[in-house]
Each structure stands twice: as C-alpha cells, then as structure tokens.
C-alpha cells in the first residue's frame, strides 16, 4: 500500500523507557545511547516518507535508578522529590534522543532542526490515583527481592505483566499540556520536537492559577494522547517490544490483532485482556486519542514503524 496523503502528517510517537535499557543490560549511558541510535531507525524512515514526528519517551528504568541514587545518598545530600527527578530524566533522555537524532539526520544528509522541550502536564490535585501507587518504575526484581525492598524502603511493589516485580508510584491522569502552544509553534516552523518525556512533569493548578509540582509520574502513553489532542496530531504511534498487540497474552490461545475498531478495543479492555502497567494504558490512550478526533493509532515495535503506517505491520486501532 502506498502512502497517498499529502505530507507533512503530524504523528505523535511514544517510545517506552525500557526501549533504551534492553533486557540483561545494566543501563549504562553507553548502552542507552547505542539503544537510542538503533531505536531511531524507524523514525528516520518515517521522516523521509514525509511525516512530522513529535517524540515522547518513557523513563521508568531511569527515574527508578534516580530514586535509588537519592535514597542511597540521603545521609550526604538533600533529598530530591520524585517530581523533580521526572524533570531531571526528561532533560537527560531528551538530550540523548535529540543528539542521536540530530547526528543520524546529518549522516543521512538531512539538516532538520531538533529540540527537546521540558514539558509540564496538568493533573487534578484531588485525583484519587495520588493515594494509590499503580505505575511501575525502575528495574525488575524477583518476588522475594521486591518484597524485601518494600519492607526496607516502605515501597509498594507488584508483579508487572509476567516480566518480574517492580516498584509502584502514584500516577494521576493527565489533563492538558502546559507548553502546548510552544510545541505547536515549533512544529509549524519545521522543528522535530521531543516533548512530555516520561509522561511530563506532573503539576496542578492552584486557586490563583499558578502551577505547583507534585510527586508522581504520568503514564507516557496517556500523555502522548493528550499531547496529540492539544497539538492537532492526526496519528498516534505507540512503540513497544512486541510487533503487535495480543489477546490471551502468553497463553496457548494467544492471538495477535491486526486492525480493530475502537468499540472492540474498549470491550477487550473491559474484559481484562490487557494488563495494567503494560498494555492497558496503551489501549486507553488509543481510545482516548480517537474519541478526541484522532484518525488512527498504531501499536508496534520500533523496527516496523513505517510498515505500520502503510498498514503492513503492527496493530491499528481506528474509529
């Protein structure tokens, strides 16, 4: 199938933080830079095909590591709250992706400008999710080690989609992007934007209209959906480790999904087919984006992005 629409088409591309730290790796900066360069291959192909990408990245492993560093050094330096650590990792990972993308574009003979925007995301300060830690961050542990860390550090821990045990932190629902006008202006001038890294820095609005930070993390796929709405993106692409979404995941009757309609995605979500902390937020983000007027959502891996845009790979969710 050929690409028959007129470019540029704005597509928000959400990349998981685990894409930058592969299974079995320690997560060194060298490893993360190498993974970033490999991950960008599909995005480069999409740019060549005439797309205008806006890139969002996760930060689960990175902010989890940052929390460990903070807790280890409490007797030597002041504590850094979770909200500020989200901003720290948004900056460091944004730098990593922006530099890698700029270098790759130059090697391809393309001199497109790239920038990373430190992004604040408004949440409701009365969101009940703030009292119920639910978002997995940081490294994977065995059940025994996770429970030991929970006792030592007063953590909430849980099993994460069959992949191991992780720490849980509060994750309120994103409502709007504070820097949306800035991001729109950059896109209009042909700038490739990296925004809302790690889901963005969670803030709430005071009674006088000022902003105040809050200690939580926001699911990056839900933030990608909100950002797509706020900047008028036509498509949303959510990248993960698998090529397609599956129902009956890791069971003998596992079935991969090609194209599904929004009502069917919602029914599967309600039936518990998608695990919380992994696939469920992706499906919620897809449904939300389409309900707000988005045209199509793609869920696939980094190597099949352009094929997904051609309806040749991945899972497509449509109105």
Q: Give pLDDT tens digits for 19-58.
A: 888 878 888 999 999 999 998 989 999 999 889 999 999 9
Rounded distance between C-alpha atoms, residue 33 and residue 46, angstroms? 20
Rounded distance between C-alpha atoms, residue 180 and residue 173, angstroms? 17
Residue 17 falls in the annotated catalytic set: yes
Rounded distance between C-alpha atoms, residue 125 and residue 145, angstroms? 33
Coil, strand or helix: which one is 12?
Answer: strand
Highest mean pLDDT among 5-9, 91-95, 161-165, 248-252: 91-95
Q: What is the mean pLDDT of residues 233-260?
A: 93
Residue 253 falls in the annotated catalytic set: no
- pLDDT above 70: residue 318: yes
The chain-wide mean pLDDT, for the chain, equals 92
pLDDT-derived band of residue 78, with 50, 70 and 90 as boundaries?
Answer: very high
Cβ–Cβ < 8 Å for 130, 170: yes
**Catalytic residue from among 17, 58, 138, 228:** 17
Q: What is the mean pLDDT of residues 197-210?
A: 96
For 136, counting Cβ atoms within 10 Å of its Cβ (0-12 exposed, 13-18 middle, 19+ buried), the class is buried
Q: What is the mean pLDDT of residues 191-197?
A: 97
What pLDDT does 152 receive?
A: 87
Q: What is the mean pLDDT of residues 263-269?
A: 96
pLDDT-derived band of residue 8, with 50, 70 and 90 as boundaries?
Answer: low
Beta pairing class for 114-117 and 192-195: parallel
**Catalytic residue from among 199, 282, 294, 296:** 282
Cβ–Cβ < 8 Å for 48, 271: no
State the architecture of 9-124+171-243+287-318 in CATH terms: 3-Layer(aba) Sandwich (3.40)
Bridge partners (DSSP) listed for residue 260: 317
* Spans of all domains in the chain: 9-124+171-243+287-318, 133-169
Q: What is the mean pLDDT of residues 191-208?
A: 97
Q: 166 or 195: which carries more pLDDT confidence?
A: 195
Residue 35 falls in the annotated catalytic set: no
Q: How far is CA 226 from CA 78, 187, 231, 244, 246, in A?
A: 34, 16, 9, 23, 24
Cβ–Cβ < 8 Å for 196, 119: yes
Cis peptide preceding 8, ω within 30 of 0: yes
**Catalytic residue from among 16, 35, 83, 135:** 135
Rounded distance between C-alpha atoms, residue 71 and residue 152, angstroms? 11
Cβ–Cβ < 8 Å for 163, 72: no
Q: Which residues lie below 8 Å from residue 153, measured CB to CB, with a gap of 6+?
A: 71
pLDDT-derived band of residue 276, with 50, 70 and 90 as boundaries?
Answer: confident
- pLDDT above 80: residue 2: no
What pLDDT does 136 receive?
A: 84
The packing angle between helices 279-291 and 262-270, to 10°, is 140
- pLDDT above 80: residue 187: yes
Rounded distance between C-alpha atoms, residue 177 and residue 202, angstroms? 10
For 118, counting Cβ atoms within 10 Å of its Cβ (0-12 exposed, 13-18 middle, 19+ buried), the class is middle
Q: 22 or 249: which carries more pLDDT confidence?
A: 249
Portion of the chain with pLDDT greater than 90, in percent: 78
pLDDT-derived band of residue 209, with 50, 70 and 90 as boundaries?
Answer: very high
**Catalytic residue from among 94, 220, 277, 314:** 220
Residue 41 falls in the annotated catalytic set: no
- 57-91 as b/e: b if 16+ CB within 10 A: bbbbbbbbbbbeebeeeeeeeeeeebbebbbbbbe
What pLDDT does 80 receive?
A: 94
Residue 143 falls in the annotated catalytic set: no
Could you tell me the pTM of the whole model?
0.91
Bridge partners (DSSP) listed for residue 315: 299
Cβ–Cβ < 8 Å for 11, 271: no
Rounded distance between C-alpha atoms, residue 252 and residue 210, angstroms? 53
Scan for tokens 């999710």, then name that residue. 129
């Amino acid at each position: 199938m050929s690409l028959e629409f007129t470019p540029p088409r704005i597509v928000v591309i959400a990349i998981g933080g685990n894409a930058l730290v592969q299974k079995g790796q320690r997560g060194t900066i060298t490893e993360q830079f190498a993974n970033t360069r490999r991950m960008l291959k599909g995005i480069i192909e999409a740019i060549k095909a005439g797309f205008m990408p806006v890139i969002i990245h996760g930060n689960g492993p990175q902010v989890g590591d940052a929390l460990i560093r903070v807790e280890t050094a409490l007797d030597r330096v002041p504590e850094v709250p979770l909200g500020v650590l989200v901003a720290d990792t948004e900056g460091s990972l944004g730098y990593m992706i922006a530099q890698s993308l700029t270098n790759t574009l130059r090697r391809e003979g393309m001199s497109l400008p790239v920038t990373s925007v430190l992004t604040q995301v408004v949440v409701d300060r009365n969101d009940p999710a703030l009292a119920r830690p639910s978002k997995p961050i940081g490294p994977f542990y065995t059940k025994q080690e996770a429970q030991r860390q929970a006792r030592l550090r007063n953590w909430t821990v849980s099993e994460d989609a069959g992949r191991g045990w992780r720490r849980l932190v509060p994750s309120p629902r994103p409502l709007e992007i504070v820097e949306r006008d800035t991001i729109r202006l950059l896109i209009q001038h042909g700038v490739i934007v990296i925004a809302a890294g790690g889901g963005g820095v969670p803030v709430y609005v005071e009674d006088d209209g000022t902003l105040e930070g809050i200690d939580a993390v926001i699911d990056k796929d839900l933030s990608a959906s909100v950002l797509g709405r706020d900047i008028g993106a036509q498509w949303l692409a959510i990248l993960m480790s698998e090529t397609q979404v599956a129902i009956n995941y890791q069971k003998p009757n596992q079935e991969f999904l090609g194209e599904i309609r929004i009502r069917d995605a919602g029914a599967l979500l309600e039936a518990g087919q998608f695990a919380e902390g992994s696939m469920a937020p992706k499906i919620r983000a897809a449904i939300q984006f389409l309900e707000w007027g988005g045209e199509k959502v793609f869920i696939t891996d980094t190597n099949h992005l352009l094929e997904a845009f051609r309806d040749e790979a991945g899972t497509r969710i449509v109105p």
